[in-house]
Amino acid sequence: MKVGLTYDLRDEYLSEGMGIEESAEFDRPDTIDAIESTLRYLGFKTDRIGNIKQLTARLSSGDSWDIVFNIAEGVSGFGREAQVPALLDAWRIPYTFSDPLVLCITLHKGFTKRIIRDIGIPTTDFALIEEVSDINQVNLQFPIFAKPVSEGTGKGVTKASKIVCQEALKKVCLDLLKRYKQPVLLEPFLPGREFTVGIIGTGKNARSIGVLEVIIRPKAESDIYSYTNKELYEELVTYRIAQDEMAEHAADIALRSWRGLGCRDAGRVDLRADSKGMPNFIEVNPLAGLHPEHSDLPILCTKIGISYKELINGIMESALHRQDKHTHLCGRIRPPLNRSEHLLN
């Protein structure tokens, strides 16, 4: 079975003049190396494609694949994560992870929260700042948390994101509007524990595989999982597997969110507890980072005894099952879903 790999390589964009933070969501060469070598170990033939422009050229020349392992983030627009899947849909080529509809919705944190709220899943009230005049209409109690509505990897999140007064609210919103050229999402600041829940599978076959608690160390930017804290996580953040009652509740909320939004194959759901200890949905990452040592989902897997090979195999099994091609798996590695369920029980 021939597997194409689509991705955005960070070094390529840096060489074109893109900034460090601007390119933060794109992948390192060793991430692509790890995915490709694992797929080959599992018995697949691989073909590196690259970004959407390189994919377009390959499709135009008549190339095709049995399935594409897609981790391309895209460069611009609210639909950037959906661009490669939409192109593959047009060519009727199967791919891993979520479809264009899900990727468009989940990239916009405001739209995502509206759906989550309608499903009946706990999430905070929020406000969207699309222009300066919206700031005076905000009806949220301080402290308020602010971030760009459609960024990941902590982009736009700094120690200034926790806002305690109207003057600071205006200053932060104006800065984010100018820098990121997109709406600002405002939410009441949640003071409780922070979790990220790993999910593998699709629909009724999806499972919460573990709950990773994010603990900010004293020397870090306090109270928030900021861009700086994420980039320097080895010095500033402690990750631990949580298995208590609150963590179990977080896992249940995450799984309901994943299924309710229609996410596929694998990813993460981020939550934070309010002052009453209720985990609240923050956001979902349907294209989670897959660096074997530095990305949250593989870190979680490592801590609960799931190997990187098992993770990639679980992703492929889910994607191939959706295409009724699961019999093509070589069978060397069994997916981790059932083996790790006891961690949440």
Q: What's the CATH architecture for 2-97?
A: 3-Layer(aba) Sandwich (3.40)
Residue (of 150, 144, 151, 154) closest to 236 by Cα position? 154
- Which residue is listed with tokens 């104006």? 174
Residues of the chain with CATH 3.40.50.20: 2-97
Residue with tokens 């080959």: 40
The whole-model pTM stands at 0.91
**What average pLDDT does the segment 195-211 reach?**
97
List of residues 6+ apart from 35 with CB closer than 8 A: 5, 69, 71, 290, 312
CA distance 295 to 308: 11
Residues of the chain with CATH 3.30.1490.20: 125-188
Q: How far apart are CA 39 and CA 4, in angstroms?
A: 10
pLDDT at 231: 87
First-to-last alpha carbon distance for the chain, in angstroms, is 37
Q: Specify the pLDDT at position 153.
A: 81
**What would the mean pLDDT of 75-93 be, rounded to a whole number?**
96
Sequence-ordered strand ranges (E) for the chain: 2-6, 45-50, 67-70, 127-129, 144-148, 162-163, 184-188, 194-200, 207-216, 237-241, 266-273, 279-285
d(CA 167, CA 250): 34
Separation between Cα atoms, residue 274 and residue 194, nearest integer Å: 10
The residues of the chain that CATH labels 3.30.470.20 are 194-344
CATH superfamily of 194-344: ATP-grasp fold, B domain (3.30.470.20)
Supply angle C-alpha 256, 261, 262, rounded to 5: 100
Q: What pLDDT score was predicted for residue 343?
A: 32
What pLDDT score does 223 carry?
Answer: 87
Q: Over the Cα atoms of the chain, what is R_g?
A: 20
pLDDT in tens, 22-76: 898 999 999 999 999 999 999 999 999 999 999 999 999 999 999 999 999 999 9
Sign of CA dihedral 10, 313, 40, 100: negative
Rounded Cα gap, residues 155 and 60, in angstroms: 34
Third-level CATH fold of 125-188? Dna Ligase; domain 1 (3.30.1490)
Cβ proximity of 128 and 110 under 8 Å: yes
